[in-house]
Amino acid sequence: MEKNATTTCFRECIRKWHKMYPEKELSQVQQDYLVDVIMTWIQREMERG
């Protein structure tokens, strides 16, 4: 249940901020872009401590 709720929330945030709609499968380019966004966020969070 938690995984599904997290996935739904994540896809809604992607729709809101990056205009990638949840009813469409992500292309490889979109996936690569999102991985880069997430990794950048993680790195910034780690640097903040």
Render pLDDT for 6-27 as a digit per residue (tens, 0 to 9).
Answer: 667 888 899 999 999 988 999 9
Q: Is the pTM of this model over 0.75?
A: no
Q: pLDDT value at position 1?
A: 47
Q: pLDDT value at position 37?
A: 92
What value does the mean pLDDT take over residues 15-42? 93
Most distant pair of Cα atoms in the chain: their distance: 36
Q: Which residues contact 18 (CB under 8 A, 6 or more apart)?
A: 33, 34, 37
Using 50, 70 and 90 to split pLDDT, how confident is the model at 4?
low
